[in-house]
Amino acid sequence: MHPLHRKLRALPATAAPALVASLALLGSVALPTSAASAYDLRLRAWGLNTSGQLGDGTKTQRLTPTSVVGLSGAELNSVAAGGTGGSAGSGFGLALLANGTVEAWGKNDKGQLGNGATSTTDEWAVPGLVAGLGGVDAIAAGGSHALALLKDGTVMSWGLNDKGQLGDGTTTNASLPVTVAGLADVKAIAAGDTFSMALLKDGTVKTWGNNDKGQLGVTPRPASSTATVPNPTPATRTTAVQVPELTTVKGITAGASHALALLADGTVMSWGLNDKGQLGDDTATTTTPAVNNNKPYPVQVLELTNVTALAAGATHSVALLQDRTLRAWGNNANGQVGDGTTTQRNTSVPVLGAAGVVGIASGAGHNLAVLGDGTVQSWGLNDKGQLGDGTTTQRLTPVQVLAKSGSVAMVAAPSSGSFSLAR
């Protein structure tokens, strides 16, 4: 670990405003901030910290928010969180600065910090610059890889590449940013555990990386609705390929092994892993032996309309509606659906007590919601303190975090991990 690692950087006198819509759909939401103290504007983190993913210079687990070293105020345009779960799970964070550069911290064994260094024990407990990267408009973090959307509409990637998730035509890990091949006119990006997504300006979606659960969405749909669901093909994809049938997409998000697309009419399509009902098409079962409910092509999320933003965890999904309420579906073993039960939901149900929500993010088994008054709520799994309420007690409905500041503008959580970020 390098507790004092940090490179200086210059910032413009005024910061560019964040892009609200695209960031919300990537699991990190940015909104205009009201006047607040310097302390209120610090980037804060809580939860699992085995790899320094909280960025506070330690590896100490935090049950309440701690300040990320050196990141605060108008210099931050957005944040992203990546990593894997489990008791010894790893994690890393990304911060997009107002000058178009990116800082990263946490686990770096696969080069996911993009600083040119990598080893099995490489961890950086405070932020440092991603090398050679500028003109960035948006960021996304997967299990052990990262993406950056540049202002010219192209995409850079770095980190683990064993499944082609970097999209550069190889399966070679990269500790420095490389160009995703064949991508142009991109307006939003998302990263799953071992796959990646790009939303193009024409409303189409391209994916690349691992496809073992159909998370690329590129397998042809069977001719009949009663036909057996085909196995996903190809197994992996090292360059981006277009998802069929999708032409009016305005937002995307990625769970660990499933994907969601928000259409222009406010409805949602989903594809990939569906073992816990996370696709919301009411086809998941709990029969023994297990039935393959995965969908390697897009299907409609049932009974869901008027959606404005999406978030996805390991095996659950969340939607923000126009009326600022939430609906969720999928795995609910730890209350991550937020309906007061631990019953799996194969179609969406309301998140109880969630009102006035303006942004959402989902971790492996927990969720964060930013309210219009600048406070944050959380619910679901809390074994590592990822809810930030000072306990390790799971919550079946939202509880308040960061209530005193009233100035939170952005949140992020890793779809395969157990920590949270907020500023």
Please name the helix (run of DSSP H) or strand (run of DSSP E) that holds residue 299, with its range, or none.
strand 295-300
pLDDT digit string, tens, across residues 318-330: 999 999 999 999 9
At residue 252, the pLDDT reads: 98
Label residue 406 by pLDDT band (50, 70, 90): low
d(CA 183, CA 72): 32
d(CA 156, CA 260): 22
At residue 16, the pLDDT reads: 31
Label residue 407 by pLDDT band (50, 70, 90): confident
pLDDT digit string, tens, across residues 158-184: 999 999 999 999 999 999 999 999 999
Q: What is the dihedral of CA 222, 228, 229, 232, to 10 degrees?
A: -90
Tokens of 78: 């957005």
Do residues 411 and 41 make contact, with C-beta atoms less than 8 angstroms apart?
A: no
At residue 33, the pLDDT reads: 38
Q: What is the mean pLDDT of residues 101-107?
A: 97
- Taking the CB of residue 117, how many other CB atoms lie within 10 A of it? 16
42-59: b or e for each residue (b if 16 or more CB lie within 10 Å)?
Answer: bbbbbbbbbbbbbbbbbb
Question: What does pLDDT average to over the chain?
Answer: 89
d(CA 183, CA 60): 40
At residue 403, the pLDDT reads: 61
Residue 247 pLDDT exceeds 70: yes
At residue 408, the pLDDT reads: 86
pLDDT digit string, tens, across residues 57-76: 999 999 999 999 998 777 89
At residue 287, the pLDDT reads: 58
Q: What is the dihedral of CA 63, 66, 72, 73, to 10 degrees?
A: 60
At residue 41, the pLDDT reads: 76
User: In which region does residue 57 sit, left (phi positive, over 0), alpha (psi from -120 to 50) or beta (all else)?
Assistant: left
At residue 19, the pLDDT reads: 30
At residue 396, the pLDDT reads: 98
For domain 20-422, which architecture applies? 7 Propeller (2.130)
Residue 44 pLDDT exceeds 80: yes
Cis amide bond preceding 350, omega within 30? no
Higher pLDDT, 222 or 173: 173
Q: What is the mean pLDDT of residues 281-292?
A: 71
Predicted model pTM: 0.91
Residue 91 pLDDT exceeds 90: yes
